[in-house]
Amino acid sequence: MDLKQAAAERFAAVESELREISHWMYRNPEIAFEEHNTSARLVDFLRSNGFEVEYPAFGLDTAFAARAGTEGPEVVICAEYDALPEVGHACGHNIIAAAALGAGVALVDAAAALGFRVRVQGTPAEESYGGKVDLINNGAFAGAALSMMIHPSTSDVVDPAFLGVAHVDVEFFGKESHAAFAPQLGVNALDAAVQTYVNISTLRQAMYPTDKVHGVITYGGGAPNVIPAYTAMSWYIRAATTERLNELEAKVLACFEAAASATGCTYEVKPLGHTYTDLISDPLMVELYQANSSGLGRPMGRGADRDPAAAGSTDMGNVSHEVPSIHPMLDIKCFPAVNHQKEFAAATILPPGDQAIRDGAIAMAGTVIDIAAGNRWDELRKIEN
């Protein structure tokens, strides 16, 4: 029996339903840790296709673990499904989820024939909070042979670079006063926020091309004629390695401290969610996925051929430090619309977005089949924890 052909046929049997799920998610976005309706719908699909489902799973209300197969190495396919505030599925998690479900269904026969287990792992809150880190801490990836997922983008890259990121909120506390009558009696917390922005802008000349720091004022005051006694900011700090991220974060925290000192404010720093690491792509999985994708008419570029500074972050990076992993990016043909724009969200339900579901699912399934059929498990990258 041609297991890859059987996998493609299994996928084809549910393809229209997967497209419907992706389009439904686009119309019904749910943000991080609030993906209750979405996770329930994905679970219903997996149960109806013969998976044994644990839901909730690993201590998270909107996480699930759908399993098939009874013995052998375990393959974990990650499904993301949280949306972004205001712009919905502008990172294409609807495509990611549908492709993960499709790959899981496609692998059921191969798992039985080749003696491995497949788990579709629901991973909430990739945006900002790092739900996969919670899952790691709760044992979701312990003992897994490998993990994989795909991600929509504006180019086809099998081993993209991703930066580590720390999410940090800072609050400044001053003293209110009448802005015209007695400004000298106030302590201006908005000045501290503005000075922070200036400090970090000044820091940029000392940053590497792969360092990225960006932030917003989430609260700047209530009225122009009142000296603001409270302001709040949210910052993302990114770097190519964990070591460099730690160095850069210390410099950013110094910018907060200096702004508070200069304005007479006090301040409080609050980490938001988990720190994400850089992504390590497994060489064997990269090679096999690239070959399978090319066979589907989607040749994949390599991350080394791209600008290393043009990179975002993902909590899949943390997973890649625990188990051999890949995270290919698939072009949905919508440039100049890019991730995190409403136009990108709208493109996820157009034909190229639907095609990415198919190509991603079948290429992931083919990659796993190649590893299992060749008994190549020992060739995966060794992880030392």
How confident is the model at residue 384, as a pLDDT?
Answer: 77
Give percent of the chain above pLDDT 90.
Answer: 96
Cβ–Cβ < 8 Å for 244, 211: yes
Cα-based angle 130, 133, 138 (whole degrees, multiple of 5): 135
pLDDT digits (tens, 9 = 90+) for 47-72: 999 999 999 999 999 999 999 999 99
Mean pLDDT of 284-301: 98
| Neighbour-count burial of 246, counting CB atoms closer than 10 A to its CB (0-12 exposed, 13-18 middle, 19+ buried) | middle
pLDDT at 367 over 80: yes
Mean pLDDT of 171-179: 97
Q: What is the mean pLDDT of the chain?
A: 96
How confident is the model at residue 1, as a pLDDT?
Answer: 62
Return d(Cα 113, Cα 278) in angstroms, integer: 35
pLDDT bin (cut points 50, 70, 90) of residue 311 is confident
pLDDT bin (cut points 50, 70, 90) of residue 312 is confident
pLDDT bin (cut points 50, 70, 90) of residue 385 is low
Mean pLDDT of 332-342: 97
pLDDT at 355 over 70: yes
H/E stretch holding 382: none
Mean pLDDT of 148-166: 96
How confident is the model at residue 303, as a pLDDT?
Answer: 83
Question: What proportions of the chain, in percent to the nearest 5, are helix, strand and coil?
Answer: 40, 20, 35
Quickly count: other Cβ atoms within 10 Å of residue 100's Cβ.
Answer: 31
Which residue shows structure tokens 């000392």? 206
How confident is the model at residue 81, as a pLDDT?
Answer: 98
Which of 63, 169, 65 has its CA nearest to residue 124? 63
Structural domains in the chain, sorted by start:
3-162+279-379 (3.40.630.10), 164-271 (3.30.70.360)
How confident is the model at residue 265, as a pLDDT?
Answer: 98
CA distances from 79 to 8, 62, 85, 212 (A): 19, 12, 19, 27
pLDDT bin (cut points 50, 70, 90) of residue 32 is very high
Mean pLDDT of 8-36: 98
Return d(Cα 93, Cα 19) in angstroms, integer: 13
How confident is the model at residue 211, as a pLDDT?
Answer: 96
Which distant-in-sequence residues (6+ apart) come within 8 Å of 108 by Cβ? 10, 49, 50, 68, 69, 118
Measured in degrees and rounded to the nearest 5, phi and psi for residue 118 equal -120, 135
pLDDT bin (cut points 50, 70, 90) of residue 347 is very high
